[in-house]
């Protein structure tokens, strides 16, 4: 499965009809389209039909359904409000000035006031439209990587040095955050990665010499991924493309560690990554669509 993600074709070239990946997510920019074209051409496949269907070829794309912007509350410089991003109370400029004056009057220094204000929530503008807010509600992303919680199990925790396990946890959290994974999706993906490593070790044997068992394991996972990817992504090639897009978000060293540890060898891992990769570009496409309307 590592060979497939690294773009070595299993079983020879496919026909043109088989190669046309019917992607259910947009290719929102020229860079993503170019990466997809390079991915397909590197396997001897023609990407033109798929690219044209997504507005990157001679066939005109279907006009997207324009969602109306949610009404914005009237602006006011005199009333405090709940910040839409931090969900905390933020002072208006007039309230901030009044508070400063009262504090100075009772002997609080200007330096102390400035230090306190530096740590207070500041007003921010939520420019998302209804489509973006709906997507973010369906696939919520935590405020920081530290909010993810992954379970490694007592056996794994006992067999690995505590510092190494902490470093692994930090790398995985950073990677899932870069992929904009929801807590549920991140947990499912990391759990699948741990299972992938265990399954590879079981097939390879204690000394890693059981090549026939490993080959059988890989063929089974390739077939399974082809079945899982067919409905949501059109075919295996498209699913692999989106999985690779998700992995591109990780730091190179962390990504290499996943390959070295055989953490992305199973169909379960790849299908999770494929959905994360496609969601990245759906979200990007919604933002670009909103900005294009201005």
Looking at per-residue pLDDT, the higher value among 88 and 118 belongs to: 118
Q: In the Cβ-directed half-sphere of 34, how many Cα atoms lie within 13 Å?
A: 3
Looking at per-residue pLDDT, the higher value among 188 and 92 belongs to: 188
The domain ranges of the chain are: 2-8+16-57+128-292, 91-124
Check pLDDT > 70 for residue 107. Answer: yes
Residue 48: exposure state from Cβ atoms within 10 A (0-12, 13-18, ≥19)? middle
pLDDT band at 25 (very low <50, low <70, confident <90, very high): very low
Whether 198 and 204 have beta carbons less than 8 Å apart is answered as no
Integer Cα distance of 28 and 11 in angstroms: 31
Q: What is the CA radius of gyration of the chain?
A: 24
What is the arithmetic mean of pLDDT over 101-113?
80
Integer Cα distance of 172 and 170 in angstroms: 6
The CA-atom distances, in angstroms, between 185 and each of 94, 192, 277 are: 43, 11, 12
Integer Cα distance of 169 and 151 in angstroms: 10
- For residue range 34-87, what is the model confidence (pLDDT) as tens digits? 777 776 676 666 777 667 766 666 433 434 444 445 444 444 444 444 554 555
- For residue range 254-273, what is the model confidence (pLDDT) as tens digits? 999 999 999 999 999 999 99
pLDDT (0 to 100) of residue 18: 33
Looking at per-residue pLDDT, the higher value among 96 and 6 belongs to: 96
């Amino acid at each position: 499965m590592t060979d497939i993600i690294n773009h070595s074709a299993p079983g020879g070239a496919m026909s043109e009809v088989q190669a046309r990946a019917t992607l259910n997510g947009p290719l929102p920019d020229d860079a993503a389209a170019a990466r997809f074209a390079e991915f397909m051409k590197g396997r001897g496949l023609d990407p033109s039909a798929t690219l044209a269907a997504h507005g990157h070829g001679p066939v005109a794309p279907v006009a997207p359904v324009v969602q109306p912007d949610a009404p914005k509350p009237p602006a006011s410089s005199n009333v405090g409000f709940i910040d839409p991003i931090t969900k905390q109370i933020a002072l208006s400029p007039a309230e901030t000035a009044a508070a400063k004056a009262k504090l100075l009057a009772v002997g609080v220094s200007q330096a102390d006031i400035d230090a306190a204000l530096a740590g207070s929530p500041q007003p921010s503008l939520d420019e998302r439209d209804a489509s973006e807010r709906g997507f973010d509600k369906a696939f919520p992303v935590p405020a920081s990587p530290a909010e993810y919680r992954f379970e490694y199990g007592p056996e794994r925790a006992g067999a690995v040095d505590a510092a190494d396990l902490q470093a692994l946890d930090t790398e995985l959290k950073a990677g899932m955050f870069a992929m904009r994974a929801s807590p549920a999706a991140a947990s499912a993906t990391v759990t699948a990665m741990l299972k992938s490593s265990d399954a590879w070790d079981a097939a390879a044997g204690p000394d890693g010499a059981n090549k026939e068992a490993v080959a059988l394991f890989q063929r089974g996972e390739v077939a399974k991924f082809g079945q899982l990817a067919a409905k949501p992504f059109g075919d295996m090639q498209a699913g692999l493309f989106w999985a690779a897009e998700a992995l591109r978000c990780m730091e190179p060293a962390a990504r290499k560690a996943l390959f070295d540890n055989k953490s992305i060898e199973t169909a379960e891992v790849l299908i999770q990554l494929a959905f994360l990769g496609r969601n990245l570009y759906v979200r990007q496409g919604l933002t670009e669509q909103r900005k294009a309307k201005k």
